[in-house]
Structure 1
């Protein structure tokens, strides 16, 4: 008896029409909501000062452990640096599972100390433009897997830097869900269902079939 298998990329199209419609609608909603999340967070750190004070002072810890807050991007970068030296766990709660992330948090703190803070005027642009790219990519469904990869990197960074901290309180699962939504974008590249990727893919597939390395790369990112 001969059986057929469905290629992974055709999972949605192989479903019955009503199931496929629900799945496409869910992916579209997830894509747009993640894009909107990044969109609304562009405005509190607008270039060229990224919401920082004129001297680009970062948030620091007082001797009693409380925070001496700054503003804008300098505030949250400082918060991450302070918490990089404190005990950090994910999935911390009454359940049986907890994941210590102290080494990752300390690595994040070292990068902030040695790269981000000294180069904040450049790093701020890199961060803001990356988030703006995520917004454009996911809203338009353009190179949506690449947009998902950028969102995933940003979400993992935020989860390590801020997830579950107590001062200021940051709900861990908000960041965990950002990671999961971003993973969905990478896995399903939802722009191919309702987005510009649906128009691009046949053209890129034709270029890839002719042996174009650029065509193959861009096809993988749509």
Structure 2
């Protein structure tokens, strides 16, 4: 894509009470005819401080060249997508599993779910997904998340497991954690077929932190 005047906007959500999202914008020009020599032609004339500011750009150009050479025969970047959950603050009790093109930024909604993310509504009767507690199983091509049950008190740790198709958002399986002991799970990592390493902070007098293996299904 080429443009004489485009705007890149970065949005940062702090997820802190009373703190609004931050927005940062930059005016840019995109040209397919730009060359590395043109982009960095001011390096020799600029100060050392200015040269340091261009280090990220030089690294980006080097990475771009590397991936173009390595994957030019077997990877079409226009087909590459990112997958994950999208949240609308005006719909606190629902979320959407979407794909995003890494080239065009085009989004596609793959599935919708009747739960929010990280209890955004503050209600006591809503199901919500525990934010950032996610595990990817590339073998089964699934994404596993934890949900807090609406029937439970907010003092009870999340124990409902959802396995979702990583590339289509389909609900593959849902269940409670197998033989769950009630200790909150702070992080997940795929370990083996239907097994996940669960990082948990155990509340005892010594303040010990343990890494345990929890079987889900």
Q: TM-score range by the shorter chain?
A: under 0.3
Rg larger in structure? 2
Report the TM-score, using the length of structure 2 for normalisation.
0.28
**1 or 2, which has the higher helix percentage?**
1
